[in-house]
Amino acid sequence: MRDYFLRRLLLIPPTLLGVTIIVFAITRLVPGGPLERAIMETQQMSQAGGGQMAGQGMAISDEQLEALKEYYGFDKPILQSYAEWLGKVVTGDLGSSYRYNEPVWDVIKERFPVSVYYGVVTLILTYVVCIPLGILKAIRHRTFVDNLSSLLIFVGYAIPGYALGSLLILFFAVRLEWFPMGGFVSFNYGELSTMEKALDLINHSLLPLICYLVGSFALVTLLLKNHLMDNLAADYIRTAVAKGVSFRKSVTRHAMRNSLIPIATTFGQNITLLVGGSFLIETIFDIDGFGLLGLSSILDRDYPVVMGVVLLASLLLLIGNIISDVLVALVDPRIRFS
Amino acid sequence: MKQRPSSKWLLMLAALFLAGCGGESGGGGESDAASATIDNTAEVEADYAAEPDFYRFKTLDDLPADLVWENGADLPEIGSPEAKKGGTRYIALPDFPRTLRTAGPDSNGAFRPYILDNVVTLIAHLHPDEREFYPALAESWALDPETSTVYVKLDPAATWSDGVPVTTDDFFFMFWFYKSEYIRAPWYNNWYGTQYTNITRYDDRTFSITSASAKPDYASRVLELHPRPRHHFKELGEDYLERYQWRFTPTTGAYVLRDGDLKKGRSIVLTRNKDWWAKDKKHFRYRYNPDRVQFNIIRDTPKRFEAFKRGDIDQFGLALSEYWYEKLPDSDPDVQAGYIAKSVFYNEYPRPPYGLWMNTSQPLLDDLNVRLGVQHASNWQLVIDQYFRGDAARLKTANEGFAEFNDPSIEPREFDISKAQAYFAAAGFTERGPDGILVNAEGQKLAFTLSTGYENLADVMTILKQEAQKAGLELRIEILDSTTGWKKVQEKQHEIHLVAFGRFLEMYPRYWEHYHSDNAYDDAFLDDGSINPDRELKTQTNNLEAFADFEMDGLIDRYRASQDKDEMVELSHQILNLHHEHASFSPGWYQPSLRLGHWRWIRYPDYFNHRYISTIDDLWVHWIDTDLKKEVLEARKSGKTFPPKIQVYDQWKP
């Protein structure tokens, strides 16, 4: 058991190396990088209008171009740049963002609270709703309640969260003006009392949470329902009931525990909530969380942030998988890693 | 039966808890990336001393005695005496500003006009109707065309927003700043390093700046400069980008960013400086009226429009026909009820040259007949009629909107299938293949890639493609994101590209960057004017047509050297005609009007149609009628209506 986990832990660095090399190579191979953006911004587009447009009527010399390349780190061969990036990462330095001119870690850290909030709330609500619902559906199999909830769950599962988000905004925020159109909290959040702050947060969270939840309900509910029904039909439950254990107890004490095993197997992945967040939902609701950061860093060609996000997400996913294995080993006595 | 300890469940809970940690609250505070103390005083002074011809120190006794001081103070007032100060203006930005720096990487974004371009006070400003200068930081100025020098006396009242007076030192420092490599802005380095030859100090508030050449607009090149606050940039050094990333630079303009009013990624609030030095000054006193300007971030254009319809933001540009005619038609209930007003007015401004830039270094496009065929196969009129609903106008040349420098006799080539086919035939394309596309004797298809970096112009590309097919020309559409598109043309990898360059209000167009062979090839011609067989295509320039013509080079060199406006006008006409004959640019369209939807409480002066402005916000003449705002918001609830307000100001309609 210990050796197994040691092996798994030792596999993390090479896996990360592989992932980051691939992403790093992609950032070098795709056309149009931060350098082009810098040149375009000055030479071509005057979004501002007015003012001195120094970029026009001027040509940039080769030396100046080289200096710009050096600033963005595009002056060295790819392997050398990668080695330098890796050397810094080992010391805990993820580099500096092109877009924000701040350490990548600071940029990423600022997005944590938002994503963790949505991640944890989604997680709690999912389990709080789905576990009782799964039990209910298993016990009331093929009744009206079961069929209706299945219908709703599958409809929710079939609708992409971001599409639902657009519809919700149009109907509840624009047409009825019940909710704000987006954002994490109101602009005057700092001036509110604690109670008002909580209400404001809930007011802003409701629509995005619906989008996050519709997709996640189906999996957990049906996983639990099906396993619970398998277990309820198993001999040991019949034995327990025959020995005089009440039906309720045999469900909660015996069948439930075994039915939770498959749910425990996916539980470790919840660590990725730290870097979770759907970029589509966050974009639609203008929530400045991790998903949006990942998307905008790619669009902005902010490669140091892209690399930081990829590294962190991969690392957490790998750790999450190991945690899942640990949990499975703990809750399921039949499993022994060797 | 062995009881397994419940610690396993606790472990699962711990895992959940673990997932919830790590999120310490990241505030929107300033980054202290750069905290080491720097004082660049010695460095700056050493640089001044190292360039004694550029930075000169004299006394008032050295000021020429025969100067004629002028101040433009009798030009008409801008804005309305009715304007009231107060209220909050709400604006949505498509993205959070990348930086508060106004120079260096990422500084030229959508937010900069609000802290610099549209609010800063220059030495003097071009009047938006008269095209003459009215005073701002300058109390008066004097021109010496002989030496292309402008003498300036600063207004004694002029101060930075932090209360420090604006002095000659700030203008000296402006040159040091923009020529410095620390700011990582080579274009500024080039501009300030080559366009000016000297700044001379006479006293704290009197100085002169000399331009490199006595071009007809040498005065505006000096008068439209804005200083940099010397005291604020004491710490400017190698780490300028990080150190000044989120520091608000003191401004000579009306709006300041107060501490704590920037919430990173979420919102920004600018506040009207109640002690603004120019608040009672003519030309400024009726402008910059809102007390606060609140910016929030809405990334998506349709969503910004919905926010406008809700009243979350005050106004919305309706340049796109889709918005003017369909999303906010005159029949819209809010417009009919008079809550939302629609205004359109026409302006005169150098037009961004939207059109097809053909790369003449590519095979087939080096043939004039092919280019002429492409010109006649481009149905711009249909683009204007269908996509722009007839509200755009056809561009005649790539340099429109420069008054007498334009040649009105040049007519762009019309869409004409038979003419296009005749030219293609002259280039050897006489047969149509099975797909209707022309082929030549070698079996080569008449097909080009038509690329663009404007994802929003996909419909325009489709119209051009379908119409060109009628003439037997195949255009393969390639829509790229903006940086990729830009990279493609900068590396001259494109065949035909749809793009426009930013234009701003200046006296005459700049031709060298687009049409001089210096920017097309290394050593394009031999000394006798014949083509250099070993010439190499030059990348990273704005000569997107790879335009290299010995005669054109001569004209442009004379045009750049000329100090006589009439001669420049004459040369400009010759350049434009030569460019037209070369047919490597197919002029597209321009939009002659600015269109706006705004809530009734945003008030504009009755005389709202300034002639030479590029955006509605150029001048900040609007104000917020806070009483009317309450009234409108209540009326929306109660159903009370106002007379509809749809205004057209067409005195400058072409």
Write out pLDDT tens, residues B488-533.
Answer: 888 899 999 999 887 888 889 989 989 999 999 988 999 888 999 9
Q: Is residue B90 part of a domain?
A: no
Query: Are B306 and A170 inside 8 Å of each other by CB?
Result: yes
pLDDT at A327 over 50: yes
If asked whether residues B244 and B367 sit together in one domain, one would say no
As a whole number, mean pLDDT of residues B246-271 equals 91
- Identify the CA nearest to B311 among candidates B628, B647, B651: B628
Chain centroid to CA A3: 31
Q: Which tens digits make up the pLDDT trace of A1-50?
A: 778 888 888 989 999 999 999 989 888 887 767 777 777 766 554 333 33
pLDDT band at A273; cut points 50, 70, 90: low
Is the dihedral angle over the CA atoms B587, B589, B593, B596 positive or is it negative?
A: negative
Both B431 and B442 in one domain: the answer is: yes
Q: How far is A286 from chain B (nearest CA, A)?
A: 6
Is A267 close to B16, i.e. CB distance below 8 A?
Answer: yes
In whole numbers, what is the pLDDT of chain A averaged over residues? Answer: 82
> Edge to edge, what strands does the sheet with B474-479 contain?
B474-479, B447-452, B496-499, B355-358, B585-587
pLDDT band at A58 (very low <50, low <70, confident <90, very high): low
Q: Same structural domain for residues B378 and B480?
A: yes
How far is A301 from chain B, CA to nearest CA, in Å? 9
> To which H or E segment does residue B209 belong?
strand B206-211
Same domain, B142 and B110: yes
Mean per-residue pLDDT over chain B, rounded: 89
Structural domain contains residue B49:
yes
Nearest CA in chain B to A173: B310
Rounded distance between C-alpha atoms, residue B260 and residue B268, angstroms: 9
- CB of A85 within 8 Å of any CB in chain B? no
Q: Are residues B583 and B598 in the same domain?
A: no
Q: Do A31 and B190 touch (CB under 8 A)?
A: no
Residue A117 φ/ψ, nearest 5 degrees: -55, -55
Domain that holds residue B527: 354-590
**Quick check: is B285 in a domain?**
no
Look at residue B433 and tell me if it is in a domain: yes
Contact A169 B112 (CB under 8 A): no
Q: Which of A33, A100, A270 sits opposite B16 (nearest CB)?
A: A270
Q: Quickly state the pLDDT bin for A54 (edges 50, 70, 90).
A: very low
Q: Strands, E, within B332-483: which ranges?
A: 340-346, 355-358, 393-394, 431-432, 438-439, 447-452, 474-479
Closest alpha carbon within chain B to A325: B12
Instruction: Tell me the pLDDT tens digit for each residue of B586-641.
Output: 999 999 998 999 999 999 888 777 888 888 888 999 999 999 999 999 999 899 99
B269 lies in some domain: no
Cα distance between residue A204 and residue A285, in whole Å:
9
CB B100 within 8 A of CB B245: yes
Do the Cβ atoms of B303 and A182 come within 8 Å?
yes
Instruction: Kindly report the length of chain B.
Output: 654
CATH of the domain at B218: 3.90.76.10
Beta-carbon pairs below 8 A across chains A and B: 245
Q: Residues with Cβ < 8 Å from A184, sequence gap 6 or more?
A: A114, A201, A204, A287, A288, A289, B266
Ranges of each domain in chain A: 1-48+57-103, 105-331
pLDDT of residue B32: 46
Cα of B233 vs its chain's centroid, Å: 26
Residues of A with Cβ-Cβ distance to B4 under 8 angstroms: 333
Query: Residues B553, B495: one domain?
Result: yes
Same domain, B508 and B634: no
Of B169 and A332, the structure prediction assigns the larger pLDDT to: B169
Phi, psi of B20 (to 5 degrees): -90, -10
Strands laid side by side in the B292-297 sheet? B88-93, B292-297, B267-272, B255-263
Question: Model pTM greater than 0.85?
Answer: no
* Mean pLDDT confidence for B200-228: 94
Per-residue pLDDT, averaged over A140-159, amounts to 89
Point out the domain boundary residue: B542, B559, B590: B590
Q: Is residue A234 scored above 50 in pLDDT?
A: yes
pLDDT at B15 over 50: no
Q: Contact B26/A112, CB-based, under 8 Å?
A: yes
Mean pLDDT score, A186-200: 79
Percentage of chain B lying above the pLDDT 70 cut: 94
Q: What is the nearest CA distance from B434 to chain A, expressed in angstroms?
A: 35
pLDDT at B296: 87
CB contact under 8 A, B541 and A111: no
Q: CA-CA distance, A16 to A89, in Å (whole number)?
A: 12
Residues B533 and B618 in one domain: no
Over the stretch A59-117, which tens digit does the pLDDT of each residue have?
667 777 788 788 888 888 888 889 989 998 889 888 888 878 788 998 888 888 888 88
pLDDT digit string, tens, across residues B168-178 = 999 999 999 99
For residues B558-579, give the mean pLDDT.
95
Specify the number of domains making up chain B: 3
A334 at interface of B, judged by CB pairs closer than 8 A: no
B519 contacts A110? CB cut-off 8 A: no
Best mutation site among B106, B178, B181, B294 for testing chain A: the one with the most A CBs within 10 Å?
B106
| Residue A277: predicted pLDDT | 63
Residues B323 and B426 in one domain: no
- For residue B348, tell me if it sits in a domain: no
- B512 and B558 within one domain: yes
Bigger pLDDT: B153 vs B105: B153
Q: Where are the beta strands (DSSP E) in B80-131?
A: 88-93, 124-126
Over 90: is that where the pLDDT of B35 sits? no
* A68 touching chain B per CB within 8 A: yes
pLDDT the model gives residue B415: 97
Residue scoring higher pLDDT (B135 or A120): B135
Across the interface, whether the CB atoms of B118 and A50 are under 8 A apart is answered yes
| Residues 551-590 of chain B whose Cβ lies under 8 A from any Cβ of chain A | none
Q: Which residues in chain B touch residue A287, judged by CB atoms under 8 angstroms apart?
A: none
| A165: three-class secondary structure by DSSP | helix
Q: What's A105-331's CATH class?
A: mainly alpha
Residue with tokens 């509200």: B391
Instruction: For residue B26, tell me if it sits in a domain.
Output: no
Mean pLDDT of the B240-260 span: 93
- CB proximity B408 to A under 8 Å: no
Give the gyration radius of chain B's Cα atoms: 28
Contact residues, B window 617-636, toward A, CB-based 8 Å cutoff: 618
Under the banding of pLDDT at 50, 70 and 90, the label for residue A274 is low
- Secondary structure (H, E, C), B539-563: CCCCCCCCCCCHHHHHHHHHHHHCC
Q: Using the 8-state DSSP alphabet, how is residue A252 labeled?
A: I
B169 and B226 housed in the same domain: yes
Model pLDDT, residue B11: 37
Instruction: Name the residue among B597, B585, B603 with its Cα closest to residue B544.
Output: B585
Report the distance separating Cα B39 and Cα B502, nearest Å. 37
User: What percentage of chain B has pLDDT greater than the value 90?
Assistant: 70
* Span B292-324, pLDDT tens digits: 999 988 888 888 999 999 888 999 999 888 899
Among B252, B274, B308, which residue terminates a domain? B252
The answer on B620 and B522 residing in a single domain is no
Window 451-490 of B, Cβ < 8 Å to A: 480-488, 490
State whether residue B105 sits within 8 Å of chain A by CB: yes
Residues A114/A286, Cβ–Cβ less than 8 Å = no
- What is the H or E stretch that residue A226 is in? helix A194-232
Strand partners, B498: B356, B452
Strand-pair category, B88-93 with B292-297? parallel
| A144 Cα to chain B: minimum distance (Å) | 34
Q: CB A59 to CB B541 under 8 A? A: yes
The answer to whether residue A163 neighbours chain B at the CB level (below 8 Å) is no
Distances (CA, A) of A233 to A229, A239, A241, A252: 6, 11, 12, 14
Phi, psi of B222 (to 5 degrees): -95, -50
A188 in contact with B at a CB cutoff of 8 Å? Answer: no
The radius of gyration of chain A's CA atoms, rounded to the nearest angstrom, is 26
Nearest residue, CB atoms, A48 vs list B98, B117, B483: B117
Q: Which of A56, A286, A299 is the closest to B510 by Cβ?
A: A56
Spell out which residues of chain B touch residue A53, defining contact as CB-CB under 8 Å: 502, 504
Give the per-residue pLDDT at B6. 42
- CB < 8 Å from A in window 190-229 of B: 190-192, 194, 224-225
Distance CA B405, CA B403 (A): 5
Q: Percent of chain A at pLDDT above 70? A: 89
pLDDT at B14 over 50: no
Q: How confident is the model at residue A55 (pLDDT cuts 50, 70, 90)?
A: very low
Question: Which tokens hold the place of A127?
Answer: 């389990």
